[in-house]
Structures are given as C-alpha cells and as structure tokens.
Amino acid sequence: MNNIKKILIPVDLSESSEKTLNYVKGLVKNSPDAQVILLYVCSTSVSDQEIESKKLQLTALVKIWSDKLPYCTFQLKTGDLINTILQVQQESNVDLIIMGTGGEQDKKTETVTSRLVLEADCPVLVIPISLEKFSLKSIALALGENTIDNSGGLEALHDIARTFDATVHVLSVNRNGGDPVIKAENQEVLDYYLESLLYFHAFPKNSDIELGISEYIQKHQIDMLAILPRNHARSTKPSDGRLTKLLTLRTKVPLLTID
C-alpha cells in the first residue's frame, strides 16, 4: 500500500484486539514500510501501579507481534478515549485507524467505534470480532443518491484494492424500483479514483438501504464494505450518521469509512 504508511490501532488487550491484529497482519504483509502504532488509553482515575502493569502488557504484545508486523510500537496515554485517539492520529500523521468491534454481539445503539468513525477526519477500518480469516478479493463501495463530497478519501480505497487486486462493486441500493442513475459528477470521481481497478456498478432493489447492502454482501461474498459518511458534508446538508452507526454496529465484514 503506497499511500497508507502509518496505521493506528487502539487496543484494549481483548479478543477483539487480537482479531484486529490478525487482520492487520494480512493487510500489511506486502507493505514492509508500514508503521503500526498500538494505542492503549487509560482513564484518568487509574493508579500508577495499573499504568505500569499496562505498560508491561503492551511491551509483551509488541514483542509477540514484532515479527508479524513490519514496524510495531506502542503508546500509552491517559484521558478520554475518542479524543485521545484523534489527538494521536493528528500528532503522528496517521493515514488509517483500525479498530475492532463486537458486531452483532454488541446490542448497544452506540459504541466507541461507532462514534469514532463519525468523528475521525481520516479513514477508519472497523474489524468485526466474528471475522475468521483475512481475505480481500472483493470490495463493495456503497454510494447514496448525494454527490460525493470528499472524494480524496477514495485514495485509501484505491490503495487497498490495488494492493490486493480486489474487484470493486460500486453498490447503490435502488429503493424506489425505478431506472438507476449515477450522477455525472459522481461517475467522474469514480473514473478518476478507480481508473486502474476492475470495478462495476450494482443496483440491488430494496426499500431498506442497510438490508439491501447486507444482503448483497452475503450473496456476493464481499470481503470489505466501504462507505462515505456524510456527517462532515460541506457542499450538501450533513447527515446524522444513522446509517453509518448501524453498519458499524452490525457489520459482518471489515468496514472502511472514508473521510
């Protein structure tokens, strides 16, 4: 991956973190220059003894993964979790944040991960705990009816797809059953960023966008879903991020949010 040089992985030393690291191992296997930063954030109420204990655990974790990841280091910070993640991302010029999630096992309406994908100003890759193995032969890019507002984020998608020679399904759920149409300005953006990739359009019919996306992913054995959250939209009215949160909470495949 040429444009993704530095990856930030918030960890909590749980099974979810292990699944995330296993996925990252596959993602960076052909990228020897990639730098991986493991970040553990302590609350402000923890004792010095607890902080030292976490340092020892993180040191051991880096030692375990040092021969599996190109360049792996860790940072231990104290503070609010999301704010600290975003601060480290900016200070370290991180290109991609990768974070695990409980997926269907988590019945909450909001999690740290679902909030992070909406607040981050860089691509975030969400890894569901249910994921069994690394595979990246196909990616679905879900597009809505609005004009693509921040096209620059598509560089991350292009980088990942090109590295693994993945086919990109440009997915637009047809809710009204009419003839599907791609806006000319959106097509220009897609032609530019996906030019060297094998990609095609798909228009599954479903009145429920989330269900339409999920059914398409399952039917076509998609390995990764990419979306463009509109809560930061500048040229059009921002959304409240409801669909992004739902997909983050329920995804069964890695979810790349592009911002």
Per-residue pLDDT of 140-159, as tens digits, reads 999 987 778 767 779 999 99
> Taking 60 as the threshold, does the pLDDT of residue 233 lie above it?
no
**What CATH number does the domain containing 148 carry?**
3.40.50.620
Taking the CA atoms of 81, 84, 90 and 91 in sequence, report the sign of the dihedral they define: negative
Is residue 190 domain-resident?
Answer: yes
Domain end residue (candidates: 127, 153, 176):
127
What gap in Å lies between CA 12 and CA 56, rounded to an integer?
14
Residues 167-196: what's their mean pLDDT?
A: 89
Residues 199 and 229 reside in one and the same domain: yes
Tokens (6 digits) for 61: 């974790």
Is residue 101 domain-resident?
Answer: yes
pLDDT of residue 83: 96
Is residue 85 domain-resident?
Answer: yes
Domain end residue (candidates: 93, 127, 161):
127
Determine contact, residues 35/66, Cβ cutoff 8 Å: no
Determine the residue type at 83.
N
Residues 110 and 22 reside in one and the same domain: yes
Confidence of residue 1 (pLDDT cuts 50, 70, 90): confident
> Taking 50 as the threshold, does the pLDDT of residue 221 lie above it?
yes
Residues 36-56: what's their mean pLDDT?
A: 91
Confidence of residue 231 (pLDDT cuts 50, 70, 90): very low
Q: Residue 120 sits in which domain range? A: 6-127
Domain end residue (candidates: 74, 106, 127):
127
pLDDT of residue 235: 52
Q: How many domains does the chain have?
A: 2
Residues 123 and 152 reside in one and the same domain: no
pLDDT of residue 232: 47
Match 């991350």 to its residue by tokens: 156
Mean pLDDT of the chain: 89
Residues 26 and 112 reside in one and the same domain: yes
Q: pTM above the 0.75 mark? A: yes
Residues 82 and 159 reside in one and the same domain: no
Is residue 133 domain-resident?
Answer: no
User: For residue range 87-121, what is the model confidence (pLDDT) as tens digits?
Assistant: 999 999 999 999 998 754 445 667 899 899 999 98
Percent of residues, the chain, with pLDDT higher than 90:
61
- Name the 3-class secondary structure at 23: helix
Residues 116 and 143 reside in one and the same domain: no
Residues 116 and 19 reside in one and the same domain: yes
pLDDT of residue 218: 96
> Taking 70 as the threshold, does the pLDDT of residue 167 lie above it?
yes
Is residue 82 domain-resident?
Answer: yes
Is residue 1 domain-resident?
Answer: no
pLDDT of residue 79: 93
CA distances from 88 to 9, 51, 95 (A): 11, 18, 11
Residues 118 and 152 reside in one and the same domain: no
What is the CB neighbour count within 10 angstroms for residue 68? 15
Q: Which residues are paired to 126 by β-bridges?
A: 99, 255
Determine contact, residues 126/111, Cβ cutoff 8 Å: no
Closest CA to 244 of 114, 100, 128, 147: 114
Q: Which residues of 103-131 are buried (b: 16+ CB within 10 A; e: fewer)?
A: beebeeeebebbebbbbbebbbbbbbbeb
